[in-house]
Chains A and B, each alone.
Chain A
């Protein structure tokens, strides 16, 4: 029977072109939607790697402060201690602008055994960073004041970079080349990945390097972890303290609000995309339904004949549903050919599993759509009275 149906479909390929095209386009759109969703879900399901609650960022400008490096270092040390002394403050750290959920990115390249690893996030952090974010150490230790001196700069890497560079080997004590592979940096710790760009984006590979107090003039961010008692009054008090101390305007932001804003940047376009795709799918479903309905009305004579020569109502219904599914299969073969190029060519540097899962879900979705859309026309075809259909012809 399948060979017969293939022959019938092949001989009617021109008439079936519209149906085949509709399915192909739908598959590609669905594949795109599911690729996004799978990618976001895979990232979402991974642990965040840090605790953002009750963390505030204070952004400031050094314009009115002393230019002398040592004076500035003493000034910031005092400021740091003053903030730490506040009863509402649990932890304080200086950090580069690319702290979690900020809009800044800073990346570098590192070398290991002559191999270069590009696009490595470079977080320049103070000693208090680990405590502010509650970052988990997997191996080694966090920075201490003694790390500021010594022959090799000390760095901490995240687990993604550790796997890329060392696989399952221990990373502690290993030397890693900098961007130009001129200076060696010593790995003193490995931390759990932290998703700094929002819940739906990967952590990527990262190194953490210690903030040099000599360069505080170039730093513009302090992060504080506050206690549960920290309220708007405290925030106002903190603002006044910081503005007075720095003799400049400051901006205090709550990280949980920044997180929401960051996630919205991903969620809103995705929701819009899903709505547009849903409308497309509804139109495609109606189109498929219409094409199948039209075909059945055009084939009433054939259906009457099949009933006369031995097809039961359910056999007619089955045949029409199978025809639709075979047509869908032909389109899906072409669609999968294009879709499978994405993992093969590593397009957008997205894991192959994202594309493969999306292909599988899209194929199932299209089959379900075609099956549902062909059920009712198939049932109607089964109800065609053979004597009437044969007489009409």
Chain B
């Protein structure tokens, strides 16, 4: 589903050159649940951003769903992200000025669908994460766990094949974290969604199919 070939990412400033990712190659199969671990600054999030087409590698090749995305224009990349990928972030990234339902509808705004259809899909997604009773709430009126569930609903509302989760349980206590993890495992199991998750939590990582460890930008496991 995702093929990374010899990916390198270098951050350059006028005086310093930092090698964030050093020649990583990785194949992630369709329906796989993969976790990435490593110390802070080892390049986990950078690798996830590259997989999510939010960042470009300095070198190497990336294929998603057998498509080489290196020649994609900004418009095509945006469309690709919208249809194929879903994102979950540690800090949720919900828009506080929008109600829960509107937050979940967001990815559908960049597709051609009616308001009625958007509402139906968003409600369904919120039902899946157990938040159908919070449609009209604002994110600030929700707990951390509920906010992350809204973020998951937003990630799945467009029915993407891949979900990229950057420390989804990082801001939550263990009980909440487990709840979120359960939702992700069910998504993977029931919907066949490919999930790549960056985490610091060893116990969470062990619940996934495969664990990849990074150190100083290189894959060590």
Does residue A307 face the partner (Cβ distance < 8 Å to B)? Answer: yes
Q: Secondary structure at chain A's binding surface: helix, strand, loop or mixed? A: helix
Is residue A393 contacting chain B, with contact meaning CB distance below 8 A?
yes
Report whether A387 and B49 are in contact in the complex, using a CB–CB cutoff of 8 Å.
yes
A313 at interface, CB cutoff 8 A: yes
* Cβ-based interface call for A310 (8 A): yes
Chain B 73-103 near chain A by CB (<8 Å), digits 1 or 0: 0110111011100010101010101100010
| Complex interface bits, A3-14 against B, C-beta within 8 A gives 1, otherwise 0 | 110011001100
- Nearest to A310 among chain B residues (CB) is B82
The stretch among B30-38, B61-69, B109-117, B211-219 that forms the contact with chain A is: B109-117
One of B89, B110, B111 near A390 (C-beta < 8 A):
B89
Return chain A residues, CB-CB under 8 Å to B105. 4
Docked CA distance A315–B110 (Å): 9
Q: How large is the interface on A (under 10, 10 to 19, 20 to 34, 35 or more residues)?
A: 20 to 34
Expressed in whole angstroms, the Cα–Cα distance for A385 and B77 within the complex equals 14
| Chain B interface mostly | helix
Query: Residue B115 contacts which of A3, A311, A314, A393 (CB distance < 8 angstroms)?
Result: A3
For B98, list chain A residues within 8 Å (CB). 7-8, 11
Q: Does A126 contact B (CB under 8 A)?
A: no
Pair B102/A7 contact, Cβ less than 8 Å: yes
Of A304, A309, A314, the contact of B107 (CB 8 Å cutoff):
A309
Residues of chain B at interface, number, CB under 8 A: 31
Indicate if B204 sits at the interface (CB-CB under 8 A): no
> Bound complex: CA of A5 vs CA of B159, how far in Å?
24
Instruction: Tell me which residues across on chain B come within 8 A of A307, comparing CB atoms.
Output: 54, 78
With contact pairs A12-B97, A390-B54 given, residues A4 and B109 touching in the complex (Cβ less than 8 Å): yes
- Give the distance in Å from the alpha carbon of A390 to the alpha carbon of B49 in the complex: 10
Q: Is B89's CB under 8 angstroms from A312's CB? A: no
Q: How far is the CA of A313 from the CA of B95 in the complex (A)?
A: 19
Closest 3 A-B residue pairs measured CB to CB?
A310-B82, A312-B78, A310-B110
Beyond the given pairs A309-B82, A310-B78, A314-B75, 12 more chain A to chain B contacts, judged by CB atoms under 8 angstroms and listed by A's residue number, are A3-B115, A7-B102, A8-B95, A8-B97, A8-B98, A305-B93, A308-B81, A309-B158, A311-B78, A312-B74, A385-B55, A391-B45
Please report B residues at the A interface, Cβ cutoff 8 Å. 45-46, 49, 52, 54-55, 74-75, 77-79, 81-83, 87, 89, 91, 93, 95, 97-98, 102, 105-107, 109-111, 115, 154, 158
